[in-house]
Amino acid sequence: MISRLSLTDFRSYADAVVEPGPGLVILTGENGAGKTNLLEAVSMLAPGRGLRGAPLSDMARQDGAGGFTVAARLDDGVDIGCGTLPSAAERRVVRINGVAAAANALAERIAVLWLTPAMDRLFTDSAGARRRFLDRLVLALEPTHAHHAARYEAAMRARTRLLTGDAAADPSWLSALEAQMQEHGAALAQARTRTVQALRARIEAAPESLFARAGISLEGTDAGPWPFAANRSRDGAAGRATEGPHRQDLIVMHLAKGQAAALCSTGEQKALLIGLILAHAELVAERAGQPPVLLLDEVAAHLDPGRRAALIDRLVVQGGQVWMTGTEPELFAAAPSHATRYVVAQGQVVSD
């Protein structure tokens, strides 16, 4: 868990320090107060662009020096952090115990999962959105997944540039890139399959609850080899690779109704999504020996009182640090008295 979080020139915060305890960390305040900004800061302690997926330059405070810093002390005594410099607004700098590190190394120190209002559209969104969601789940179980994803994407982009360029592409260079795509693509597809199978087994074995159980599967589960060389002409005309693990999709069903999640009501989709996140958090805790840090943005506002109480009860039983936001303290009436509570207003975080 995070025992200390400090922000400098991040979003609406010129300077802020919070020292949350274990268990629930509850942030309340009006809309626009900066609650989600705090969750985004925590999400930046994992590989990637955080829960908003925003450009790094957007995260620097508008009236600040141009860069930002997010730093955390973990309960095992490790210090991690990231940020940008004013001279390089889109270059992420990561440090672990004061030593420069690759962003992917963060996944070896902490697992962070999140659920935001924007994700309510996940089941009706694009295959790419569901694939990114799945990759976040995989990363919490297999930290090397980020490395394979980065190498595959880099090789695929380079291959596309060669195929769509004005000059004839060097066949040997194309073959080298395609070999990288095969190697890292196979690792991606296999890791996704392992995660989906493990998560599906856990969900199906779980007892019925107020949160609908999801049936999950992968569409396009082929782990290669893919016909990259044979597809060069077609891919050059399309301006993209038409086959590969980047075309996979996460398929979700409402088990009790036998219905695709995309066809379920908004409330049912929310319950399915929460159930997925909770089941995965249990899986991570079992595999890694410690639960992930969960970030639940405005999740209580979309649940009836019964489901709010059930959610909080389950989070307490599962353990781990869970950051939750809401506009009203009453939304968290069922939270235990030992939960850490903060009031957020105008770039300030005050212990409640």
Tens-digit pLDDT profile for residues 176-224? 999 999 999 999 999 999 999 999 999 988 777 778 889 999 998 778 8
* Segment 244-289, tens digit of pLDDT: 999 999 999 999 899 999 999 888 898 899 999 999 999 999 988 8
pLDDT of residue 210: 77
* Segment 127-174, tens digit of pLDDT: 999 999 999 999 999 989 999 999 999 999 999 999 998 778 899 999
pLDDT of residue 294: 96
What is the DSSP-derived secondary structure letter of residue 50? T
pLDDT of residue 306: 86
**The token pair that represents 8 in the structure block:** 């400098």
* Segment 79-115, tens digit of pLDDT: 999 999 999 989 999 999 999 999 889 988 999 999 9
Reported pTM: 0.89
pLDDT of residue 271: 87
**The token pair that represents 314 in the structure block:** 């389950």
Residues above pLDDT 70, as percent of the chain? 100
Residues above pLDDT 90, as percent of the chain? 77
Model confidence at 229: pLDDT above 90:
yes
pLDDT of residue 46: 92
Pairing of strands 24-28, 340-345: parallel
What angle in degrees, to the nearest 10, is found between the helix axes of 145-164 and 171-205? 140
Higher pLDDT, residue 352 or 302: 352
Report yes or no: 240 and 253 within 8 Å, Cβ to Cβ. no
Model confidence at 75: pLDDT above 80:
yes
pLDDT of residue 166: 77
Q: How far apart are CA 342 and CA 27, in angstroms?
A: 5
Q: Cite the beta strand spans of the chain per DSSP E.
A: 2-10, 13-18, 24-28, 68-74, 79-85, 88-96, 99-101, 112-115, 214-219, 249-254, 259-260, 293-296, 322-326, 340-345, 348-351
With residue 52 as reference, give the H or E element that holds it.
none
pLDDT of residue 289: 84
pLDDT of residue 226: 96
Q: Considering the chain, what is the average pLDDT of its residues?
A: 92
Contacts with 126 (C-beta within 8 Å, 6 or more apart), sequence order: none
